[in-house]
Chain A
Amino acid sequence: MPPLDDGAPALRLEGVRRNFRSGKRVIAAIDGITASAAHGAVTGLIGPDGAGKTTLMRLIAGLLRADAGKIEALGIDVARDPLAVQARIGYMPQRFGLYEDLSVRQNLDLYADLQGVPADERPARYAELMHMTALGPFAGRRAGRLSGGMKQKLGLACTLVHPPDLLLLDEPTVGVDPVSRRELWQIIDHLTRDAAVTVLFSTAYLDEAERCDAVLLIHEGRLLGAGPPGVFTAELAGRSFFASADVGRRRLQERLARAPDVIDTVIQGSRVRVVTAAPTPPAGAALAADLPGLTFAPTPPRFEDAFVARLRALDPGAPPAAAPAAPSPAAASPAEDVIAVRRLTRRFGDFVAVNDVSFHVARGEIFGLLGANGAGKSTTFRMLCGLLPPSEGSLRVAGFDLRRAAASARERIGYMAQKFSLYGDLSVERNLRFFSSVYRLFGARQRRRIDWAVAEFDLASQMSATARDLPLGFKQRLALACALMHEPDILFLDEPTSGVDPLARRDFWRRINALAESGVTVMVTTHFMEEAEYCDRLAIMAQGRVLTAGAPEAIKAAARTEARPDPTMEDAFIAMIEAAADAPTQALRP
């Protein structure tokens, strides 16, 4: 039976504080959070990586002890009686907590044993869970052989095997394909509606805030705001617009970002989304003179707008000055294919990681590979960088055939790996020196490039800090600087903005745009649907195949239906995956 709602919240945090030690430094992972979550509601714990989401989840689950403050879950003091809390909660850690050598059924049996589900109740409960997660046909399959989306659903089923009163889900949707993500949300809706479960859901995807009943927005261990998502967006009523003008969208964004009263600018399709400080669109003679044909259309605010507005309010002294694009000799040359991939296939044993993939990228273009974890993006990337030989197909990068002249091609490539391959124990300056010397830059030329990087990426304030201790956004900038030391024509970015806060992501993309304007060809992988909007063209990948490729606007337009006149990139992605799944059945029809 669900507990009676006596008005007390299902979860109460009072001045919770938790520090971690890193060498001699003490880092406040949770820096005094007071908040609550209502019974039977979905509360979203939203914030970028390093905000403290996982720490907070673990504190609530009794896995960590708070240094100060009080946590009450379902009316029980967690610090005093963690076992009593653990008997009534379900907790799914980031990696789902599954035993990969065990079958779906054996995983369920284990958690049923551990949670004390009586044997006679199991058949009914299993049937319900199998129906909910659609895992029934796979009951005998080992968990390790399931797809990412199915693992996530099995992880959820294991935490639900004994119906919990409070369900803690730690980033269940990050890196999972959008179809599975939608199905997970359907399960959560069902749980809160029919079983009155209280759900605490952490995520770095800001668009998921709008699906929650209430949001706890955290940033750097502090609560930045709490309440229904509508409260956040209401503050911004009348302050967001779509701008268009008769200039390139990147120029439009760059110019608008410098206008007074503008808080945020983001490229979305062919237009630029603008958030202003006051409920009027930016105006002024100078602006109109620079941007002929400038028009603004009002648009409803998003949760992300609210987050950015709050972050800007915290740190008003950081207006993003657009980086002047360094002129590159490449800018002058005519449009040509810098990257040409034809029928590329890569097999690992009998597993086909990349299956018959073809695309091409022109000079100065930003090309995106969009897909869930395991879609084949990183494998494609490694082949493009000459780190992995293809099984079949041809690859030309900067005019070199990668099968024959990988080393020559690599000199023209800058590569920024996932998680930024920096030397954590070295200072910022040493990292810059090392990476420039790797690219055979010495003496005056090396000094010039380091000076350029320091000025361009605003690194001067932290030159002697060790890379490990830098904030995530700063690390990202340093990693980009290191990848650009040898002035490459082509830049490969593997999940570059995964988990960084929206300001750091904007800052990063502003630099990437400037590079593309100067003629550098940029290829980027991402599982953030929105990030795909920054690309000139993109390819959507799933299970090693390219489902579709084209400009973001065209891809979205293809998914337009009467019921959905203005589809998002995620809608388009889902439509594409469903179409791919239907295709074989259609082919069989007479």
Chain B
Amino acid sequence: MMASLRRLRGLLRKEFLQIWRDPSSLAIAFLLPAVLLFLFGYGVSLDASNVPLAVVAPHPSALAASFASAFEQSPYFRPQRFLTIQEAERAMANRQVQGVVWLPSDFDRRAASGGNSPIGLFVNGVDTNTARIVEGYVQQVWADWLATQAAEAGRPAPLPIALQPRVRFNPAVKSRDFIVPGLIAMIMTLSGALLTALVIAREWERGTMEALMVTRVTIREILIAKLIPYFVLGMGGMAATVALGVFRFEVPLRGSLWTLTATSSLFMLAALGMGLLISSAARTQFVAAQIAIIATFLPAFILSGFVFDINSMPWPVQIITYAVAARYFVAILQSTFLAGDVWSVILPNAAALIAIAAIFLGASRALARKRLD
């Protein structure tokens, strides 16, 4: 037992010295998440803003001009005026505008009477996501305008009563608040898997693994000595990424730090376990990085429910998503950041993370051999 502890201490000291002297693992733990968070945090947005929109008013009137200017004031749209519907449709076909709002000749009369919306809306359906957003925003602009008109005229708001949506948990409906926690889960999946997979592949490449294996060290000691240092490093990277999300992207953190730390630890174990499993197959850093990206990053992006709704996937794909650790962590993070410690969400997802971490770590232990074949 003493000898085993001494071996473990030797390996751990070596690993920390290497981390300190070779900046590549520090870069994977800190630089990579920061760069990705900046890149995606600013790049990926599910909000529409400055959407180019054609406004067609063939029969100008005071009322029509008032409605058209409502679009000018909206932060979501960048309206362009057209006189004929044909010109507007051509602009949409050329993707110069995402949608066309058409005010028919009897706009004034129908608007004054309230009732059915008299405007026509054509949306470019190629990008369904944007199309739906544009549709919603135009309806809101219409409702707001009607209400303003009514208030000015001193009569009650027209029927049907405009809905006043109240959004729970993300009152500003900023998609960034919803995206950043998801991004953190995705980025830490990659960082964690790369940490262990790359350092072990590096030992194979440099021939040091071969020399280690012919000492009295056991395979369990080798695995533990990889897990501990990179767990510490990965959690450091996690903390830095969360801090970046909270302070730079101003995402609220409503849950407790304690819950965040505990669940992140579970997730980090799962991610590092994935890396260890990859390293049992990959003997070069190039292959290890390729597998890590394909097997962890892409599923975390696509199958975690963070960008695409899992419920709308076909059932075979839904089954696959249960194996994606990021799926559970995305749910936990979104809840911890936006809603607080919602135990009914956190506990089952944490249990799933424990199961996945156990499976990956167990499989790496079972597959690792103190041999080259």
Residues of A participating in the B interface, judged by any CB pair closer than 8 Å: 58, 61-65, 82-83, 86-87, 89, 91-102, 106, 109-116, 142, 155, 158-159
CA distance A92 to B214 in the complex (A): 9
Residues in A with CB closer than 8 Å to B370 are 62-63, 82-83
* Set A89, A98, A110: member contacting B214, Cβ < 8 A: A89
Residues in A with CB closer than 8 Å to B10 are 109-110, 112-114
B211 touching A116 by the CB < 8 A rule?
Answer: no
| Chain A residue with the shortest CB-CB distance to B18 | A101
CA distance A113 to B17 in the complex (A): 15
B7 touching A113 by the CB < 8 A rule?
Answer: yes
Residues of B participating in the A interface, judged by any CB pair closer than 8 Å: 3, 6-7, 9-11, 13-14, 17-18, 21-22, 206-208, 210-218, 370-373
Residues in B with CB closer than 8 Å to A109 are 10, 13
A101 touching B22 by the CB < 8 A rule?
Answer: yes
On whether A102 and B17 interact (CB within 8 A), knowing A62-B214, A116-B3, A116-B216, the answer reads yes
> Would you give the shortest CB distance from B155 to chain A, in whole angstroms?
79
Residues in B with CB closer than 8 Å to A61 are 214
Among all A-B residue pairs, the 8 with the closest Cβ atoms: A97-B211, A113-B10, A95-B207, A91-B214, A114-B215, A101-B21, A93-B210, A116-B3
A sample of 11 cross-chain residue pairs with beta-carbon separation below 8 angstroms, ordered by A number, consists of: A61-B214, A63-B210, A64-B373, A97-B208, A99-B18, A99-B208, A101-B18, A109-B13, A110-B14, A114-B212, A159-B211
Residues in B with CB closer than 8 Å to A63 are 210, 213-214, 370-372
| Chain A residue with the shortest CB-CB distance to B370 | A82
Known: A65-B371, A99-B14, A155-B211. 17 other contacts (CB 8 A): A63-B371, A64-B372, A86-B215, A87-B216, A95-B206, A95-B207, A96-B211, A97-B212, A101-B22, A102-B21, A110-B11, A113-B7, A114-B7, A114-B10, A114-B11, A116-B7, A158-B211
> Would you give the shortest CB distance from B271 to chain A, in whole angstroms?
24
B216 touching A98 by the CB < 8 A rule?
Answer: no
CA distance A93 to B208 in the complex (A): 8
Residues in B with CB closer than 8 Å to A87 are 216
Residues in A with CB closer than 8 Å to B14 are 99, 102, 106, 110
Residues in A with CB closer than 8 Å to B206 are 95, 100
CA distance A112 to B9 in the complex (A): 11
* Set B207, B210, B216: member contacting A114, Cβ < 8 A: B216
| Chain A residue with the shortest CB-CB distance to B22 | A101
CA distance A99 to B19 in the complex (A): 12
> Would you give the shortest CB distance from A265 to chain B, in whole angstroms?
39
Residues in B with CB closer than 8 Å to A86 are 213-216
On whether A101 and B17 interact (CB within 8 A), knowing A86-B216, A114-B212, the answer reads yes
A94 touching B212 by the CB < 8 A rule?
Answer: no
> Would you give the shortest CB distance from B36 to chain A, in whole angstroms?
26
On whether A115 and B211 interact (CB within 8 A), knowing A64-B371, A106-B14, the answer reads no
CA distance A63 to B373 in the complex (A): 8
Residues in A with CB closer than 8 Å to B217 are 114
CA distance A286 to B23 in the complex (A): 72
CA distance A73 to B262 in the complex (A): 49
| Chain B residue with the shortest CB-CB distance to A97 | B211
A115 touching B207 by the CB < 8 A rule?
Answer: no
On whether A93 and B207 interact (CB within 8 A), knowing A63-B371, A102-B18, the answer reads yes
> Would you give the shortest CB distance from B214 to chain A, in whole angstroms?
4
A96 touching B207 by the CB < 8 A rule?
Answer: yes
B6 touching A94 by the CB < 8 A rule?
Answer: no
| Chain B residue with the shortest CB-CB distance to A161 | B215
> Would you give the shortest CB distance from B217 to chain A, in whole angstroms?
5
> Would you give the shortest CB distance from B26 to chain A, in whole angstroms?
12
> Would you give the shortest CB distance from A288 to chain B, in whole angstroms?
55
> Would you give the shortest CB distance from A114 to chain B, in whole angstroms?
4
> Would you give the shortest CB distance from B22 to chain A, in whole angstroms?
5
On whether A113 and B6 interact (CB within 8 A), knowing A62-B214, A89-B214, the answer reads yes
CA distance A109 to B11 in the complex (A): 10
CA distance A159 to B9 in the complex (A): 19
> Would you give the shortest CB distance from B230 to chain A, in whole angstroms?
16
Residues in A with CB closer than 8 Å to B17 are 101-102, 106
CA distance A94 to B211 in the complex (A): 10
B216 touching A115 by the CB < 8 A rule?
Answer: yes
* Set B18, B22, B371: member contacting A62, Cβ < 8 A: B371
CA distance A355 to B166 in the complex (A): 76
Residues in B with CB closer than 8 Å to A101 are 17-18, 21-22
| Chain B residue with the shortest CB-CB distance to A155 | B211
Residues in A with CB closer than 8 Å to B6 are 113, 116
| Chain A residue with the shortest CB-CB distance to B9 | A113
CA distance A97 to B11 in the complex (A): 14
CA distance A96 to B372 in the complex (A): 17
| Chain A residue with the shortest CB-CB distance to B372 | A63
* Set A65, A83, A93, A112: member contacting B211, Cβ < 8 A: A93
Residues in A with CB closer than 8 Å to B213 are 63, 86
Residues in B with CB closer than 8 Å to A112 are 10
On whether A98 and B208 interact (CB within 8 A), knowing A64-B371, A64-B372, A110-B11, the answer reads yes
